[in-house]
């Protein structure tokens, strides 16, 4: 049996015209090449054939390391496994793991989920992926991503004050890794499962500023005194009569109105409508009259409330709020705050909460049970909003709301 090689023997081995071996115990040897390079090798037999296993380059791989690798190879042989084939398969598996990136997993998840999403949700998910999640994680092997790494990613979002984005990102990261596990891209536990445990507390929500019913007389007086030719004034009045969101109100299209039927039909996936819900709004008589008068001034535009400088565009996002500031209600009333005001007033007057919620377009109408009229409470809401418009007129006339 050959003796154990020493560092001195290997260092002193000089190159010759041909490669030769320094033999150690149990098939281990060092191949000394003509260029002076020295390679660890292990001879073994498998399936009746003699084979050679490469164990590294000396001195980067020392004697102890080479002997350890040789011992591991012999253990594989005892179990009936070819060490060379085992190494090849291990390299292939490692290469496959490295190829399974977070970007690959995220895109597979997005393709799967987006088939079930409405367009606004799909666009929002795409935006969050492209802006916040893919830049730091896209090329990372998914098997190497740790909970701490994901925490750092979400913390960056929180630090810029985007707490809602951070919350949604935590949910979607959890879903991405769940999908990766289910499809075989990842084995083991979900590294995003505990992200909520380190979520930074979101700042207290400041509701959109809005007046109380007792403050309406003075407000309506100042609103009525504002120039009648003001597009923001008309948009403000329609918001007061309908409780629709500012985004869909300022971008209202003439094509969405049926003034003979007294209806405003917002189609599904309409820009400005939260979650892209469809919504039908009954118009009180006061709103119908105003819109008929307004058509003489803005009927040339597709928009009911066209922009001041370009009728091909709608009223600007801050148009109504600028007007509210001019009449002295900065910080006291916002365009969105009308929804809070109307909701509070209608609920205090004991209208059916389901009617109020439907008027505010809360919840997906496609998931509301029942027939169209019953599910959407159209006729009930028509009377409720007419009552509300009449109450506003009473306040104008008497200077105070009736109990």
Instruction: Check 210, 237, 270, 339 and give the catalytic one.
Output: 339
CA distances from 145 to 20, 136, 200, 319, 344 (A): 46, 11, 21, 47, 48
Q: Strands of 257-258's sheet, edge to edge?
A: 257-258, 263-266, 279-282
The whole-angstrom separation of Cα 128 and Cα 362 is 24
Six-digit token pair at 44? 């073994």
Compute how many other C-beta atoms are within 10 angstroms of the C-beta atom of residue 358. Answer: 23
Six-digit token pair at 202? 């979101």
The closest alpha carbon to 143, from 174, 110, 99, 183, belongs to 99
340 in active site: no
Instruction: Check 4, 11, 285, 362 and give the catalytic one.
Output: 362
Helices (H), 331-377: 337-348, 353-359, 372-376
Compute how many other C-beta atoms are within 10 angstroms of the C-beta atom of residue 51. Answer: 14
400 in active site: no
303 in active site: no
Instruction: Check 245, 270, 279, 381 and give the catalytic one.
Output: 245
245 in active site: yes
Instruction: Check 74, 336, 349, 382 and give the catalytic one.
Output: 336
Backbone angles phi, psi at 135, to 5 degrees: -55, -45
339 in active site: yes
207 in active site: no
Active-site amino acid positions: 245, 274, 336, 339, 362, 372
């Amino acid at each position: 049996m050959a003796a154990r090689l020493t560092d001195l023997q290997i260092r002193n081995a000089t190159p010759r015209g041909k490669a030769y071996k320094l033999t150690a115990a149990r098939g281990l040897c060092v191949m000394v090449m003509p260029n002076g390079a020295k390679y660890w090798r292990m001879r073994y037999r498998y399936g009746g054939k003699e084979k050679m296993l490469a164990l590294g380059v000396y001195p980067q791989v020392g004697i102890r390391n080479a002997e350890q690798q040789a011992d591991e190879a012999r253990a594989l042989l005892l179990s009936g496994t070819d060490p060379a084939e085992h190494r090849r398969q291990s390299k292939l598996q490692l290469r496959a793991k490295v190829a399974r990136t977070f970007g690959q997993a995220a895109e597979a998840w997005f393709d799967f989920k987006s088939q079930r999403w409405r367009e606004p949700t799909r666009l929002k998910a795409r935006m969050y992926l492209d802006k916040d999640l893919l830049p730091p994680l896209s090329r990372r092997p998914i098997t190497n991503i740790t909970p701490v790494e994901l925490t750092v990613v979400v913390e960056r979002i929180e630090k810029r004050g985007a707490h809602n984005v951070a919350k949604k990102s935590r949910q979607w990261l959890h879903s991405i890794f769940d999908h990766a596990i289910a499809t075989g891209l990842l084995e083991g536990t979900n590294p995003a499962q505990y992200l909520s445990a380190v979520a930074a507390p979101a700042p207290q929500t400041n509701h959109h500023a809005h007046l109380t019913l007792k403050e309406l007389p003075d407000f309506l007086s100042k609103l009525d005194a504002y120039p009648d030719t003001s597009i923001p004034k008309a948009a403000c009045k329609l918001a007061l009569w309908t409780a629709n969101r500012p985004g869909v109100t300022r971008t209202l299209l003439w094509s969405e109105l049926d003034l003979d039927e007294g209806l405003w039909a917002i189609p599904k996936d309409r820009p400005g409508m939260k979650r892209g819900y469809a919504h039908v709004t009954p118009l009180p008589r006061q709103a119908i009259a105003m819109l008929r008068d307004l058509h003489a001034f803005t009927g040339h535009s597709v928009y009911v409330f066209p922009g001041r400088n370009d009728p091909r565009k709608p009223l600007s996002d801050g148009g109504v709020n600028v007007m509210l500031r001019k009449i002295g209600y900065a910080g006291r009333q916002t365009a969105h705050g009308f929804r809070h005001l109307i909701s509070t007033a209608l609920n205090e007057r004991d209208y059916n909460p389901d009617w109020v919620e439907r008027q505010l377009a809360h919840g997906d109408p496609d998931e509301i049970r029942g027939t169209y009229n019953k599910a959407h409470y159209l006729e009930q809401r028509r009377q409720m909003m007419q009552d509300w418009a009449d109450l506003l007129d009473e306040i104008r006339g008497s200077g105070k709301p009736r109990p």
